[in-house]
Amino acid sequence: MRTLAWPCPAPGGSGEEFALVAGPEDAAARVLLVPALFEEANKTRRLLAETMRALAARGVASVLPDLPGCGESLAPLELQDLDSWRAAVRRCARRFRASHYLAIRGGAVLLPRTAKGWSFEPVAGASLLRTMVRARTIAAREEGREETAARLLDLGRVQGLELAGYRLGARMIAGLERADLPKRSKRLVLTLADLGGEPLWRRSEPGEDPALAAALAARIAVEATP
């Protein structure tokens, strides 16, 4: 595994962002992993690192970028929206000369329309947002405060919102509400039901799932290798 810096003019950023890279540098099959969003990115990171190692063992190169405002990025998350993230994904794909994409969960809403590749357990922006808002209202209730999802979202669309420790700007909130999943052929949508495995992104302590990583890598390597 190595780190790649790639040029990325994200709002408030340093002009470059970082990514994790694995596999042969001259590989013909080059997969860009579009990470899950917010907390789910952390919860699936070990799964993805494991998947990248398994891909490398099959001769497939892969790259896992930090989206601007996430991970090692110096850009403030609050200034990002889905369009700045989509632009970052395109930039990273160009720099890495990606031949395919694998989007994880909410990462599916960032896929370029013509992207070749797969989405794994994709989830629409609105569903992700609903779960995060719900976690906040539940936490508030535990502390004896009453917050409603509708009121939080009204506020969020105007001045942004802090959800699960993430400071989301108004444009990010509005973008997530509208972000539907791209229509994709069934064959390109990978699910836990097909591959076997557990929804690590739901867990407080996700750990890893080596069998799932191996299944993901096997499926992708077969179809991505020319």
Partner 1 sequence: MRADMAQHKALGAHDDSAAQLRAILRDVLGLEPSQVERFNDRTELFGSLPELDSMAVAGLLTEMEDRLDIVIEDDEVDGELLSTFGNLLAFARAKRRR
Binding range to partner 1, per CB under 8 A, among 51-59, 91-99, 135-143, 168-176 = 135-143
Contact at 8 Å (CB) between 213 and 54?
yes
| Residue 204 binds partner 1 (CB under 8 A) | yes
CA distance 60 to 134: 39
Binding range to partner 1, per CB under 8 A, among 17-25, 57-65, 111-119, 127-135 = 127-135
Task: Name which of 35 and 197 has its Cβ closer to partner 1.
Answer: 197
Q: Tell me, what DSSP letter sits at residue 123?
A: -
Task: Name which of 24 and 207 has its Cβ closer to partner 1.
Answer: 207
Contact at 8 Å (CB) between 39 and 164?
yes
| Residue 141 binds partner 1 (CB under 8 A) | yes
DSSP assignment of 80-92 equals --HHHHHHHHHHH
Task: Name which of 44 and 99 has its Cβ closer to partner 1.
Answer: 44
Task: Name which of 139 and 211 has its Cβ closer to partner 1.
Answer: 139
| Residue 138 binds partner 1 (CB under 8 A) | yes
| Residue 205 binds partner 1 (CB under 8 A) | yes
| Residue 207 binds partner 1 (CB under 8 A) | yes
Q: How many CA atoms lie within 13 A of 182 on its CB side?
A: 21
| Residue 136 binds partner 1 (CB under 8 A) | yes
**How many CB atoms sit inside 10 A of residue 16's CB?**
16
Q: How far is CA 119 from the centre of its chain?
A: 10
3-state secondary structure of 69: coil
The two structure tokens encoding residue 114: 């013509």
| Residue 199 binds partner 1 (CB under 8 A) | yes
Q: Indicate which single residue of 79, 149, 170, 181 sits in contact with partner 1 (rule: CB under 8 A).
A: 149
The two structure tokens encoding residue 139: 């936490």
Cα dihedral 46, 52, 54, 55, rounded to 10, equals: 160
Minimum CB distance to partner 1, residue 204 (Å): 5
Minimum CB distance to partner 1, residue 84 (Å): 25
Task: Name which of 57 and 139 has its Cβ closer to partner 1.
Answer: 139
CA distance 18 to 29: 21
Interacting residues with partner 1 (CB under 8 A) = 39, 127, 130-132, 134-139, 141-142, 148-149, 164, 198-199, 201-207
